[in-house]
Structure formats: structure tokens, C-alpha cells
């Protein structure tokens, strides 16, 4: 039986945001696998949504089941409408209907082209031979982290085939998998699948001040950027470095994406963030000077003042 007070609290929670998930735990720390699955799906599609931790409130935990006439947790509401639990959310996600409900474009159902080496094909074939129900799934999240696992086929998954092996992708993972190369290699700890994804954003390469000096002495065609304040730059500077202001940033964005960009600051923290930004713009050779100008003063040129 749902009392009026609990009903009002549930309705207030549903009305508090366009997308509300009643779950075990919260968005950062789901406390059950089903809740974690729905969180992962929502994180793929919408940047903002609210969660209600039913473990923190027994009245809400039991009351929301009566309110929705649905016996399990999690439960998803979109614009005040009950959508369903974990299995229904997965099915709607696979078909693209969940995207429509959330008001975002439905991704194209395009099967990615893969390359699977002979070593990887042999390993995956052996792995799936143990069970007729199991298939190889590959999940690629928004940060291009990979998770390969065995399990039954899920609704709405896309199937790519290469070298006699079937790989199953959810809708969003398939969009990130075009041109994927899967290999199987021996390591010091045994063996592993090695996945090379040409769509993954480039990472910032860390270099020390000695490598920076080598580049400068060799006359390498680099752009050396100082991301500190003008006041800091007036105290100390590295010859050849340009202050990264709005005008210089706009100039850099027009350069070819294979331009070598090298960033420095006082100790390396601010320059790392600037380097990551230019990586996100598609630049493929972006470097950060670890230790910054302070390390330059200590290891390369003591005449540069420390501060």
C-alpha cells in the first residue's frame, strides 16, 4: 500500500528533472549490476540526469515499486513517464528508441569494418568454442576504453565479422569501432588482446626539458607554447616560446593537424590541460614539458630565474 506522503515524495523526485533514475547507489557508485548497466547507458546518451538511491530510503524503495507497478529496481523515468527497468532500457537503447525518448539523434546502425589477425582469430575461436550460447562482445566507452567479454547476444547489438570471427557491439560502441585492429599477443603476464583503435583521441606525450633542448638545438619545426600568465613570463621565459593568448590559440587552430605542439608552464600542470585541449581538437603530435620552466632553470639554464 502506498501512502500519500511517500507518493508525494516520489512524484516530487520524478518532477525534479527531465530524466530520473531510481537505483541502488548513485551515478558514481552503483550498488548493483543492473543499476550500473542503466547508468552506463544513460552516460552514453545524456550528460545530465538525476538519480535517487533507494537503498538510502526504504519507503522510496518499496513505494516506487507500487507507484510504477514494477517489481524491480532500477526504474527509469523520462519527462515524468515511466520507461522501464534494466532489460527494457537495454532493449530500447539497442533499437534507438531510448535516444528518441531522450531527445537526442539516433545513431546510424552501421556495422564497423574490422581487422582481426590470425592470432586473435585463433584465440577468440577457441574461447567461444566452450559454449554455443556465448559470443564475443566489445564495448568501447566514450573515453575509448575497451571491454571485451563473452556472453549471450543482446537485443539490438550489431554484428561485425572478420577472419571468421563474429564481434558484437552495442549501438554506441559500433560508432567508435570503424577500422579497429584486434591482435593477440604474448606478454610477461601471459597473453592479452591488443586493440588498436584509429578513432581514439591522441594522448599527450610527456617530454623532459633535456628532450626539449634537443628539439630546439636541432631546429625541429615545433610550436613551443607558454601557458603561464604575462606576469610570470616577465619573470622568466624559455627562448623561442610564445605566450598562449587568445590570438595565438586561434592561429594554432588553423595549423595542419600534424603540427608538433609543445606546451610548458611553471611545473607542468597547466600546460598538460592546454595540451589535452589541443589533442581534443584533432592535433596528433602534442607534447607537455614535465617540470615546466622550473625544471628548465634547474637542469638546462640556471640563468633563468626560479620563482
Domain count, the chain: 3
Residues 223 and 250 in one domain: yes
Q: Look at residue 142 in the predicted model and tell me its pLDDT.
A: 78
Instruction: Give me the pLDDT at residue 247, please.
Output: 93
The whole-number pLDDT of residue 219 equals 93
pLDDT for 146-199, tens place per residue? Answer: 999 999 998 889 999 999 999 999 988 999 999 999 999 887 777 888 999 988
Residues 127 and 50 in one domain: no
Q: Is 137 helix (H, G, I), strand (E, B) or coil?
A: strand
Does residue 108 form part of some domain? Answer: no
**CATH number for the domain that contains residue 258:** 3.40.250.10
User: Within a domain: residue 184?
Assistant: yes
The pLDDT of residue 68 is: 96
Q: What's the rounded Cα separation, in Å, for the pair 241 and 288?
A: 13
Q: Are residues 191 and 124 in the same domain?
A: yes
pLDDT for residue 262 is more than 80: yes
Query: Are the C-beta atoms of 182 and 222 separated by less than 8 Å?
Result: no
CATH of the domain at 12: 3.40.30.10
SS3 per residue for 12-53: HHHHCCCEEEEECECCCCECCHHHHHHHHHHHHHCCCCEEEE
User: Does any domain span residue 118?
Assistant: yes
Residue 15 lies in a domain: yes
Domain region containing 295: 205-299
Asked if the structure places residue 306 within a domain, the reply is no
Q: Using 50, 70 and 90 to split pLDDT, how confident is the model at 282?
A: confident
Domain end (from 196, 221, 252)? 196
What confidence category does residue 59 fall into, taking pLDDT thresholds of 50, 70 and 90?
very high
Residue with cell 596528433: 284
Asked which of 37-41, 47-51, 81-85, 186-190 is least confident by mean pLDDT, the reply is 186-190
Per-residue model confidence as pLDDT tens digits over 110-141: 999 999 999 999 999 998 888 777 899 999 98
Residue 141 resides in a domain: yes
Q: pTM for this structure?
A: 0.61
Say whether both 184 and 243 belong to one domain.
Answer: no
Question: In this structure, is residue 109 part of a structural domain?
Answer: no
The pLDDT tens digits of the residues spanning 67-89 come to 999 999 999 999 999 999 999 99
In this prediction, residue 54 carries a pLDDT of 97
Per-residue model confidence (pLDDT) at position 281: 84
pLDDT value at residue 13: 96
d(CA 164, CA 27): 39
- 84 and 20 within one domain: yes
At 164 the pLDDT is: 94
With bands split at pLDDT 50, 70 and 90, how would you rate the model's confidence at 31? very high
Long-range contacts of 185-188 (CB under 8 A, 24+ apart): 185/119
Distance from C-alpha of 160 to C-alpha of 141, rounded to nearest angstrom:
18
Query: What is the pLDDT, as a whole number, of residue 20?
Result: 98
Please indicate, yes or no, whether residues 184 and 245 belong to a single structural domain of this protein: no
- pLDDT single digits (tens) 242-255: 999 999 999 999 99
Q: Are residues 236 and 290 in the same domain?
A: yes
Q: For 156-167, write each residue's pLDDT tens digit.
A: 899 999 999 999
Q: Are residues 219 and 287 in the same domain?
A: yes
Q: What is the average per-residue pLDDT within 215-228?
A: 95
Evaluate whether residue 192 is within a structural domain. Answer: yes
* Domain boundary pick from 56, 72, 102: 102
Q: Which of 196, 216, 233 is the last residue of a domain?
A: 196
Assess whether 169 and 212 both reside in one domain.
Answer: no
User: 216 falls in which pLDDT band (50, 70, 90)?
Assistant: very high
Angle at 75 between CA 73 and CA 81, to 5 degrees: 160
Mean pLDDT score of the chain, rounded to an integer? Answer: 93
191 and 209 housed in the same domain: no
- Whole-number pLDDT of residue 159: 96
- Whether 202 shows a pLDDT value over 90: the answer reads no
Looking at the structure, tell me whether residues 180 and 214 fall in a common domain.
Answer: no
Amino acid at each position: 500500500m502506498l501512502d500519500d506522503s511517500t507518493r508525494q515524495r516520489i512524484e516530487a523526485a520524478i518532477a525534479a528533472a527531465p530524466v530520473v533514475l531510481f537505483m541502488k547507489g548513485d551515478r558514481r557508485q552503483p550498488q548493483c549490476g543492473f543499476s550500473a548497466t542503466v547508468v552506463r547507458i544513460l552516460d552514453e546518451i545524456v550528460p545530465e540526469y538525476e538519480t535517487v538511491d533507494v537503498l538510502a530510503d526504504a519507503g522510496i524503495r518499496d513505494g516506487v515499486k507500487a507507484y510504477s507497478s514494477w517489481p524491480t529496481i532500477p526504474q527509469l523515468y523520462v519527462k515524468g513517464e515511466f520507461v522501464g527497468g534494466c532489460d527494457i532500457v537495454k532493449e530500447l537503447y539497442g533499437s534507438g528508441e531510448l535516444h528518441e525518448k531522450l531527445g537526442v539523434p539516433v545513431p546510424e546502425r552501421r556495422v564497423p569494418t574490422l581487422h582481426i589477425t590470425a592470432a586473435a582469430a585463433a584465440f577468440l575461436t577457441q574461447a567461444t568454442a566452450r559454449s554455443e550460447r556465448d559470443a564475443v562482445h566489445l564495448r568501447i566507452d566514450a573515453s575509448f576504453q575497451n571491454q571485451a567479454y563473452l556472453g549471450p547476444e543482446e537485443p539490438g547489438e550489431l554484428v561485425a565479422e572478420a577472419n571468421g570471427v563474429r564481434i558484437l557491439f552495442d549501438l554506441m560502441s559500433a560508432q567508435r569501432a570503424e577500422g579497429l585492429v584486434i591482435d593477440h599477443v604474448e606478454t610477461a603476464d601471459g597473453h592479452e588482446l591488443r586493440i588498436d583503435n584509429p578513432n581514439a583521441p591522441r594522448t599527450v606525450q610527456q617530454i623532459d626539458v633535456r628532450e626539449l633542448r634537443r628539439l630546439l638545438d636541432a631546429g625541429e619545426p615545433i610550436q613551443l607554447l607558454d601557458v603561464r600568465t604575462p606576469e610570470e613570463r616577465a619573470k622568466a621565459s624559455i627562448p623561442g616560446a610564445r605566450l598562449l593568448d587568445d590570438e595565438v590559440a586561434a592561429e594554432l587552430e588553423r595549423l595542419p593537424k600534424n603540427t608538433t605542439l609543445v606546451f610548458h608552464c611553471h611545473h607542468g600542470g597547466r600546460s598538460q590541460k592546454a595540451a589535452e585541449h589541443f589533442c581534443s581538437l584533432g592535433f596528433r603530435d602534442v607534447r607537455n614539458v614535465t617540470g615546466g620552466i622550473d625544471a628548465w632553470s634547474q637542469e638546462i639554464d640556471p640563468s633563468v630565474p626560479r620563482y
